[in-house]
Structures are given as structure tokens and as C-alpha cells.
Chain A
Amino acid sequence: MRWFVLAMLAACISPYNASTLPPSGVRLSCVDAWVEATTRPEAEGPVVVVHVGNRCDHSARVDLGSLKVVGLDEQGATWPLSPYDPRHEIEPRRMDALAWGEEWIEFHAPVHGASLASVDVDVGSIEALGEARWIRVVVPR
């Protein structure tokens, strides 16, 4: 009965509403994406919160491992950032039609202690053959 109830609940799952894409968001071929930057006490670098929503009526491939992220410090120097992924979890996954969600990914600069003021994120890179679509977000202090 429990799994039946789960199945019934599934019928009520709210699908992704493409009109909720904020002005800073990017519309890719099927996937809408937008990002925020934040800091967390347990993190050793800026955390990029990637929001994704699939507006297509079929599943779409999302590759957050291909996300290109560049940090900018207060002097204007740029730092290529790499994701913190000790368990090697970040890999391409399929996203159901009209599904939505978010992923919090911590990024590290090649030099420890770099004080980053903002990050540039190429969200176009999460779709195969996607054009570069850079979004700049400020890292809160």
C-alpha cells in the first residue's frame, strides 16, 4: 500500500514552471539554468548553487561536471576553479521531463587563500555542444 500511495503522490508532483526562470537565468535547448554564489562555514571556497529545470517533455542530459567556473579576486585577477568532488560523484545525469532542482558545488582555486569577489560560470557547458553562456555572480562576504 505504501508504494501505491507513493505512486499516487507522484501524480501530484509539481512540474517545472519555465516562467519561474529569473532574469539572470539562461535558457538552453531544454534546460533552464541559473546560479547563485554563497559561502558556507564547512566549505573552503565559494559554493555555486546551480538551479536547473527541464522545460522539455522528454528527459535531458545534464553534465554539471563540465561546468566551467572562473573566480575573480579583488585585484581583477582570474582563477580557474575546480569543483570539490572527493567522492567523484559529479557526472553526467539524465533529468526527467519537467523536473527541476539544484546542486550545491564547492569550488577551489589553484592557490589556497585566494580571496574571490565573484565567479563567472559558463552554464552553457552543462549541455552537450552548448554555446558558452557566462553568468557572473558575486560571492557574498
Chain B
Amino acid sequence: MKALLVLVLIAGVAQAGGRHCHETSPIVGREHCGGFGQRWAHDAWLGMFGYELAVAFEDVRIADVHETGTVYSATSSPAYHLTLAPGTRRMHAVGPRLRYGYRGANVTIGVEFTAGFAIGAPTLITNVDGFAPLSETGGTMFDTAGVVGYHDRFGALQLGGELVVGVQMTALNAALPPGFTTCVGGAIGKGCYLAATAIDLLVEPRARVDWWLTPQVTVGAAAGIDVASRGESATVILGFHLSAFDGN
């Protein structure tokens, strides 16, 4: 999906700017390559090509974990049971957020991807039959969501609200005794490591403030509450915009 979006964006740029056309006249109605307003008027499609670099801090509620199954070594295949240790049920994660879509004078429509790496997470206890309990703290999360938003500018200050709807995947790392994996024979590789994963609905209204450093560059911050999973997020954002003030 991500690759497809990038291809669409690149194709748009290529179509707009990659044609080799020999212009024979600068006069309206006699131009072959360009058109009226091309040299000075606002192009709404440029809103597709803004770019935001963001760092997100997420506070995610972790549901109780009660997971059972079988793990493997070269010689045995005991059962395991995953549980959360008493204490916090929240994971704090930090990571990059990428957004693709349209950003116009007042409206934002797009999709965003957030990856988070735990800086604080519940402790996961692994009980493997015949072994002492093992504990592990750590995890990752990944959000995929659609965004719609409205914003307005007051001088250099821009205020807005966004609604983010998507899914949030969390994975808590789990420890296993040496030589054990989740693959038959104790094989190692992708998908052979034990983790407690969950996928939850993400519905997050956000408040957002941006400051226009130049007509094409913003710094901003956003904060939201995930009303579906009771999480929270805070983000700092550096934005690049092809149209001055997004055409506002």
C-alpha cells in the first residue's frame, strides 16, 4: 500500500514535470506546453506533495495477556503461557510518523503510518513447562490510519483539529529459554520469535498547532486521545509545503 502511494505520487510529479515539450510561444492561447496561470496561480494539486517529518510519542493501553501455545527446541516441544506481570498496563513508545495525502488551505486528507519503539512497557512473563518463569520488557507498535482535518491560519499561527481512524498493532516482546523458538525444531528466522500481539481500533481526535517559519516551512505539535483504546499521543512535526501557506 505504501509503495503504491509513493508510485502514485511520483507518477503525478513525472506527469506534471517530466514531459519534454518545446514551447513555441509564451502567449495565452498560443502556448503548446503550458497554460494560463501556470507561472503564477495557485495549483491545488501541489497540496499532494507536501511532506512532514514527525516524531510521535504514544501512550498505549495494553490489554491483559493470556496466551498459550507450543514452543520448540531441537529436542522438545513444551507448552508455554504468557501473562503480564503485576504493575503498569501501559506502553510508552517513540518513533517516526509519515503522512501522505492532501493538505490544502483549510483541509487535510491523508493516510499516516506511525512506528513506535517502546521506551517503557509492561513486563511479560513467559512460563514454559519445565523451566523457570522468564520476564521481558519491551515492544513495538505500528499505527495505520486515515486522517481528515480542518485548519485555519492566523498570521504565522495555524490551529486545527484532526480525526484519525485506523488500526493500532502492538507487540510485546517475550523471552524464551535458550534454544527455543516458535518454529518447529527450534528454527530461527522471521516469525520464529515469541511476542504478544494485539490489533485494536484507533479513533483519535487531535488538536494541532503549527507555526509558519517561512511560507513553505512549518513546525508544529499535535496531541490526541484514542477514544477507542484509551491511549494518548503527542507529536512534534516539521512540515515542508510546495504552496505558500498551503494556498491559504
Contacts and interface: CB of A to CB of B under 8 A. Distances in A.
A106 B41 contact: no
Given A10-B242, A104-B26, A4 B51 contact: yes
Interface in B4-47: 9-10, 13-14, 24-30, 35-37, 39-42
Contacts of A103: 28, 36-37, 39-40
Nearest to A41: B25
A103 B240 CA distance: 28
A131 interface: no
Contact of B28 (A4, A15, A57, A106): A106
Contacts of A42: 24-25, 27, 30
B248 A58 contact: yes
Interface string B58-102: 000000000000000000000000000000000000000000000
B244 A99 contact: yes
B247 interface: yes
Contacts of A11: 214, 216-217, 240
Given A62-B41, A103-B37, A7 B242 contact: yes
A85 B13 contact: no
A97 B27 contact: no
Contact of A7 (B35, B155, B215, B240): B240
B89 to A, nearest CB: 38
B contact patch SS: loop
A100 B40 CA distance: 6
Interface in B130-185: 153, 155
25 contacts: A2-B13, A3-B49, A3-B51, A6-B13, A13-B244, A15-B215, A57-B245, A58-B245, A59-B42, A62-B41, A64-B36, A87-B29, A89-B35, A89-B36, A93-B36, A96-B42, A96-B244, A96-B247, A99-B42, A100-B40, A101-B39, A103-B37, A103-B40, A104-B28, A105-B28
Interface of A: 2-4, 6-8, 10-11, 13, 15, 40, 42-43, 47, 52, 57-59, 62, 64, 83-87, 89-91, 93-106
Interface of B: 9-10, 13-14, 24-30, 35-37, 39-42, 49-51, 105, 153, 155, 214-217, 240-245, 247-248
